[in-house]
Structure 1
Amino acid sequence: MRSPGSTVVVVVGGVTDAILRELGRLPNVQALRLTEDDSPSLRTVLGAANRPFLVHDLDPLAAVAAAWRGFFDDPSTIGVLRVEVESALTAFAAGESVLPDYYLVLDPEGISPAESQWWLGVLAAVAPSRVLPVEATTASVQRMLGALPTGRAWPDPAGWLRELHLQVPDRAGLL
Structure 2
Amino acid sequence: MPRPNSTVVIVVGTDAEKVVPRLEGLANVRAATVKDEDSARGLVAQSHAAYVVHDADPLADLATAWTGFFDRADTPGTLEVAVEATLAALRRGSVQLPDYYVVLDPESLPETRKHWWLGVLAGVSPNRVIPAKASAAAVAAVLSRLPSGRWWPDPPDDWLRGLGRAVPDRVGVPGST
TM-score by length of 2: 0.89
Indicate the residue corresponding to 1:167 in structure 2. Answer: 166
Number of residue pairs matched by the alignment? 173
Change (3 A) 1:164 1:40: closer
Runs of 4+ aligned structure 1 residues displaced above 2 Å come to 1-5, 14-18, 39-43, 73-78
Change (3 A) 1:13 1:160: same
Change (3 A) 1:69 1:91: same
Gap runs ≥5 in structure 2: none
Indicate the residue corresponding to 2:13 in structure 1. Answer: 13
TM-score by length of 1: 0.90
Q: Is contact 1:3–1:50 with CA below 8 Å preserved after alignment?
A: no
SS at match of 1:41: helix
Indicate the residue corresponding to 1:52 in structure 2. Answer: 50
Q: Is contact 1:34–1:57 with CA below 8 Å preserved after alignment?
A: yes
Gap runs ≥5 in structure 1: none
Indicate the residue corresponding to 1:102 in structure 2. Answer: 100
Once superposed, what is the RMSD of the aligned Cα atoms?
1.9
CA–CA separation in structure 1 for the residues paired with 2:2 and 2:60: 20
Q: Is contact 2:24–2:30 with CA below 8 Å preserved after alignment?
A: yes
Q: Is contact 1:122–1:167 with CA below 8 Å preserved after alignment?
A: yes
Change (3 A) 1:74 1:55: same
Change (3 A) 1:109 1:74: closer
Indicate the residue corresponding to 2:70 in structure 1. Answer: 72
Indicate the residue corresponding to 1:128 in structure 2. Answer: 126
Identity in percent = 47
Q: Is contact 2:30–2:49 with CA below 8 Å preserved after alignment?
A: yes
Question: Which digits, 9 at most, give the CA deviation of each residue in 1:69-113, with x for residues without a partner?
Answer: 111233984411111111111111111111110010111121111
